[in-house]
Amino acid sequence: MAKEKVKLWDKLKYKYKLSVINETSYEGVFNFRLSLLHVLMALSGLSVILVTLTILLVAFTGLREFIPGYPDGNLRQKIAGNAIRVDSLEEELNKRDRFMKSLQVMLSGGDSTSVARIRKDSLKGEHDSIRFQISQQESEFRAAMEEKERFNLGFGIKEPNKDYYHFFPPVEGIVTNSFDEEKRHFGTDIVAKSNAKVAAALDGVVIFTDWTVKTGYVILVQHVNDLVSVYKHNSTLLKQQGDYVRAGEVIAIVGNTGEESSGPHLHFELWRAGNPLNLENFMKFK
């Protein structure tokens, strides 16, 4: 047996000569000597390199998702979502267990100290779950104040001198159609540059923002002392219902929207206690 092994080893080390000859001139182009051992070593090294490159390619590229049994992106998202749900469920179960323990102590006639200790242990690391109780007097006071301010649209607006108002001109332009109550034209039409800014006439709260067929984009602002200003035919509204605005603050952009509009302009109205007011008595336009 040892003799056969030696012969096999000798065969692996036996060198062969490989020659490349020109077919026409029979001139040797190149030749080299090699053995079976050299070939096996070269093939082994090449196999190791190919296997390593394949592993790296699969591990660091998206090809790994094609491996049977490997989770794809959607499955990994589901796994993460399920982990979050399990964590939330575990937390809820812990809260339920602590509640049941407190209830058992109370039903068995335990004192308040035991219940307080259980509640204290349950709140460790859960400061966001702490709730403070309010007194009966405070509850009644809050209810009274909320009922009082329930329909107060001017809530949060500072009360100025009732005998004096400083109106801010909403746009810079030329008056083309003045206030005329007999013709039921309750506002003032002011022609302005296209995309000009529309400013609030006074401090107030936006109470209406919407689109109408006749007047396009409309915004209404509630001011103190039952004053309401109306801005019509805008191209864009920059404020939403409930926003608090200051005098001179931009609330819209001049436009040409609505069936009653005949060009870029602002239809501006001012009402007090349900009665229309002539704006030109309070501010000057070009």
- Return the CATH number at 202: 2.70.70.10
240 and 220 Cβ atoms separated by less than 8 Å: no
Indicate whether 242 belongs to any domain: yes
Indicate whether 152 belongs to any domain: no
Indicate whether 135 belongs to any domain: no
pLDDT exceeds cutoff 90 at 230: yes
pLDDT at 269: 92
SS3 258: coil
199 and 251 Cβ atoms separated by less than 8 Å: yes
Domain boundary among 17, 41, 58: 58
pLDDT at 200: 93
pLDDT at 66: 67
pLDDT at 1: 47
CA pair distance 16, 38, nearest whole angstrom: 11
CA pair distance 18, 5, nearest whole angstrom: 26
Task: Say which residues have a Cβ less than 8 Å from residue 7's Cβ, sequence separation at least 6.
Answer: none
Indicate whether 211 belongs to any domain: yes
Indicate whether 50 belongs to any domain: yes
Closest CA to 119 of 104, 138, 99: 99
pLDDT at 38: 80
- Helix axis angle, 36-59 relative to 2-13, nearest 10°? 80
Length of the chain: 286
Structure tokens at 240: 């939403």
Q: Which of 74-88, 108-122, 259-273 is the least confident region?
A: 108-122
Domain boundary among 58, 85, 102: 58
| Other CB atoms within 10 A of residue 264 CB | 19
Tell me the residue range of the domain where 48 lies.
Answer: 2-58
CA pair distance 223, 158, nearest whole angstrom: 10
Residues 165-195: pLDDT tens digits? 678 889 988 888 888 888 888 888 989 888 8
pLDDT at 268: 92
For the ranges 76-80, 128-132, 234-238, the one whose mean pLDDT is highest: 234-238
Indicate whether 239 belongs to any domain: yes
- Helix axis angle, 73-107 relative to 112-122, nearest 10°? 170
SS3 128: helix
How far apart, in Å, are the Cα atoms of 195 and each of 15, 253, 256?
A: 91, 5, 10
pLDDT exceeds cutoff 60 at 111: no
pLDDT exceeds cutoff 90 at 206: yes
Domain boundary among 39, 58, 77: 58
Indicate whether 146 belongs to any domain: no
Where is pLDDT greater, at 276 or 166?
276
pLDDT exceeds cutoff 70 at 6: no
Indicate whether 15 belongs to any domain: yes
Band of pLDDT at residue 135, cut at 50, 70 and 90: low
Residue found under tokens 């077919």: 23
Number of domains in the chain: 2
Amino acid at 40: L
Q: How confident is the prediction for the chain on average, in pLDDT?
A: 77
SS3 30: strand
**Taking the mean position of all CA atoms in its chain, how far away is CA 237?**
21
